[in-house]
Each structure stands twice: as structure tokens, then as C-alpha cells.
Structure 1
Amino acid sequence: MDYATMFDLTGRTALVVGGAGGIGRAASAGLAAHGADVVVADLDVAAAQEVAADLTGQGRSATAYELNVLDPQSISRAVDELDPVDVLVLTAAVNVRKRMLDYTSEDFDKVIALNLKSSFEMIRAFGRGMAERGRGSIIAFTSIRSVTVEPGQSAYAATKAALLQVVRTAAAELGPQGVRVNTVAPGVVETPLTQPILDNQEWADAYAAKSALGRWSKPEELAGAVVYLASDAASYVTGTQIFVDGGWTAVDGRYDPPA
């Protein structure tokens, strides 16, 4: 291995789903900075175009693409128009934060559809071509909620735990064809999705104090894990979950003992 170029993604096409969002935007920037031709895919195509324009203005290779991952025809069209894709990054997610007794069937279906079913369908759709070509990297975003929960997170946590198992199964099934499938599990990240928590100072401070680093993360702090998993530096890494959580899942932060 050429250690000087093991993170080089030149010549590879990376499709970032949810690329106009906070984490998706950072992932797109990180991949583009290491030479990938990035497709910024999002339902909000205008926002995707802004991200792509910003990257191309920096001399990177990026294009915008309108994609509705809840629409099977949109996914099929994306395969026809974008494949071959070498790196698939799945960041799109939603959270309906309610106690279980207050949840509706519509709330549940909404979370399951975007967080789990759409990722399953995207892995199937683009994993097929990767398997036929004998290489590829699929990176899905789970969460610390895949392994630890709190009140109000039932459906969201269930989708993230289930997505981890989908990824592990895909890794087992596609590994013999040279396709790697992994997840990145963030802790608390400053994004539009978490803005309601950030607006509540007590709540935001409590979350910051839970991690070993004592703070929230920025979206760009997730980009390194994405670049790593996309690159040859992770050529023997598959079926795993990389926590980028500031030590959240390692530390019992509810009480700071005197000794």
C-alpha cells in the first residue's frame, strides 16, 4: 500500500444522500477534498445546488441531484442516471421525539420509512452494481441511539439499531464481491435536526456534559470517519460501527463521583 495516497479518492464517484443537510454537507466536502467526484443528492435540490456550487467554487468536483428516497421510481432513476457509484453515503433521517404512549401510527411510519426502509432500498439499489463491479463502499449513518436510549426516542432508536443490523447483513452478503458496508454513529451534533434541543440551554448543556469531551460536535467532525471508510485506508473494514460521539457511549456521565 502507498501510505501517502491511501486516503486519495481521485477517480471515484461518491453519492451523498441528504447531501444538503448538516452532516451530508460536511461529508460531501470531506469526500470532495480528497478527490472524489461528489453527487450531492437531496429532496431539496436548490439546497443541494448551493452545496455543489460552493464545492466547485473551491475547485472541487461536485454536482447536485434531486432524489426522493421515499419514491422507488426516484431511486430507480438515480441508479440509471448515476451508476457507477463507488461510494454511497446515507445521511437522511428524521426524528419524531414523543413518548411511546403519545406516538401515532403515522409518526411511527414516517420515522421507519425514511430512517430504515429508504436506506434498505438504497443499499439494494446501488449495492447490486458495486457487487457486479467487484468494489465499493457503503456508509450509513446510525447514532448513539443504536445502542443507548432515552425517553422519547423509541422509533428513532429502533430504526438506528435496525439499520446497524441491515448494514451488518449487507456486509456479510456483499463482502465476497468486494463491497464494504459500515456505519458511522454520531453523538450529539449541531444540525437543524437538533436545533430545538440547542435552543433549550439546560437541555443542551446536559447533553454536552454527558460526553467525555464535554461539548457538542460540529458536522465537519464527522467527515473524517466518512473519508476513512470510503478510502483504501479502510480496505479491511466492513460490518462495523464507528462511534464519533465524543466518548458518550464510553462514559457514565450522570454523576461525577468525588473520587
Structure 2
Amino acid sequence: MNVVIGGNSGIGAAVVELLAGSTLVVDRTGTDVACDITDRASVDAVAALVQQGGGLDALIVTAGVSPSMGDARTILNVDLFGMVNVLEAFEPLAREGSVAVCVASIAGHVMDWPAETLDLLDTATDLDALTALAENSSMAYVLAKTGVIRQVRRRAKAWGSRGARIVSVSPGVTDTPMGRAEMAADNGTDLMAAASALGRQAEPEELASVIAFLASPGASYITGTDLLVDGGSLAGFGR
């Protein structure tokens, strides 16, 4: 079974359109199954459904919130700690050929953090400490997405021992409801898209095609890494 968490809109909805086979669409509302990824019991209930439904083929996690959607604590709790809840709940379901694709962000590539901060991101157990480090919701988003990339890398061996893969994808500015909200917040998102090598934002279908490939047998040797799909945004900024 394929599972798309955050499949009600944006990149997640575009992924649902591309995946072959049985797909369970999970979101807070309006989908096959409702789930709050910040609530471990809620995530465990979804994992149990998948196990009962025949087991895990692909897990796609696009659920998250952007800087304009909450305060620093909310951003970290959803985008990092929620992702950890999902990965911990679904790892026991991983089997030969299973794959998890976690949506991170270009934001996870824009800052270098000291070792002490990286340790907090790797353990992902101290929400209070990480919230204290975040000066605002934008900084919390950068921290959270850095954490997602690192979580994928550090979990790859455990997934590999089950014959499974785990990867992350870091989109640049994308034309989704969340992306448009950030544009409206006038926080520089439009400038990032304009400064990219391609000079535009991505369409959700462009990200979905990359995610669908990573979830396919054609990507069978890709694991424990992040794929930056930013239209050359970092290149445009010279980073």
C-alpha cells in the first residue's frame, strides 16, 4: 500500500495523482484517513491500518506548515517532531522494497549550524530547547527542515537492514497554497524564485514527478540522501 501523508493539497495531492496502485490519502481533514502527525497515537493508528491493509510499499510525507502559518514552536512541532513521529511509527512496517520519501525544503540548505544544534536536531527529543534557539518562525522552519534532512540520513541504515529505502526531497519555491501564502506574507519568497537559475517557481506536478521516481524501482540505489529540487535557487544565490 502507498501512503501519502499531507495528500489533500499541493505537492501531496499531485503525488496521489501519479502513484500507481492502492494509495491511502492521509491529512488532517477531507481525506481517506484523518491524522494529526504531532499526536503519536494518531500516527500509530494510521500505521496499524496500513499493516492491516497489506503492508507498506511507499510512504510519502508532505505534511507540514510554513513560517506564516504558526509560531516557532508550532513549526518545529509539526515539521520536525511530527515527521519523527511518522518515521518511528512506520519503520517497523518497512520491508523489502519499501520506501519513504520525506519532503524537506531548500530552507534546510541555507545555514550552517554548530554541533550542539545539530545534536538537538538529530535526537529530536527537546522541543523546548529548539524553540528557544529559533528567533522567529522563519528560523524555526530552517531548523526543522535541516532536521528532516538529517533524520533521513541517520535512519537510512535501519531502513536498509529491512531492505527498504528512505530519502528526502528539498523543493524550492513551489506554486501551492502554502507557497502562495508565503508569497503573500512578503517574506522574500518571490525574490528567491526570481533569483533561481530558471527564474520561476516550481509547479507541484514537477515535484510530484521527482517523488514518484524516488518511490519507484528505478531509484532502487538511492537512499539516505536529500535531493534538492529548487530550479537552481541555491545556484542563483551562489551558495
> Do Structure 1 and Structure 2 share a fold, with TM-score over 0.5?
yes
Displacement after TM superposition at 1:209 (Å): 1.7
Q: Which residue of 1 aligns with 2:129?
A: none
Paired residue type of 2:34: E
Which of 57, 60, 63 aligns to 1:92? It is: 63
Paired residue type of 2:219: A
Q: Distance in 1 between matches of 2:63 and 2:147?
A: 15
TM-score (norm 1): 0.75
Q: Distance in 2 between matches of 1:41 and 1:202?
A: 29
Moved over 4 A (4+): 200-205
Displacement after TM superposition at 1:155 (Å): 0.4
Q: Which residue of 2 aligns with 1:8?
A: none
Give the structure with higher Rg (CA). Answer: 1
Q: CA RMSD in A?
A: 2.3
TM-score (norm 2): 0.81
Work out whether 1:80 is the aligned partner of 2:68: no
Paired residue type of 1:15: V
Stretches of structure 1 that go unaligned for 5 or more consecutive residues are 1-12, 49-63, 99-105, 255-259
Paired residue type of 2:92: R
Q: Distance in 1 between matches of 2:16 and 2:140?
A: 28
Q: Sequence identity of aligned pairs in percent?
A: 32
Q: Which residue of 2 aligns with 1:239?
A: 224
3-state SS, counterpart of residue 192 of structure 2 = helix
* Mapped contact 2:66–2:182 kept (Cα < 8 A): no
Q: Distance in 2 between matches of 1:73 and 1:176?
A: 26
* Mapped contact 1:146–1:158 kept (Cα < 8 A): yes
Q: Output aligned runs, 1:3-152, within 5 Å.
A: 13-31=1-19, 35-44=20-29, 46=30, 48=31, 64-83=32-51, 84-97=55-68, 107-130=71-94, 133-148=95-110
Displacement after TM superposition at 1:136 (Å): 0.8
* Mapped contact 1:26–1:219 kept (Cα < 8 A): yes
Paired residue type of 1:107: D
Q: Distance in 1 between matches of 2:216 and 2:167?
A: 12
Count of matched residue pairs: 212
Q: Distance in 1 between matches of 2:157 and 2:75?
A: 26
In the superposition, relative to structure 1, how do residues 213 and 108 fare at CA in structure 2: closer, same or farther (>3 Å)?
same
Q: Which residue of 1 aligns with 2:128?
A: none
* Mapped contact 2:68–2:185 kept (Cα < 8 A): no
Q: Distance in 1 between matches of 2:43 and 2:186?
A: 40
Paired residue type of 1:147: H
Q: Distance in 2 between matches of 1:159 and 1:170?
A: 16
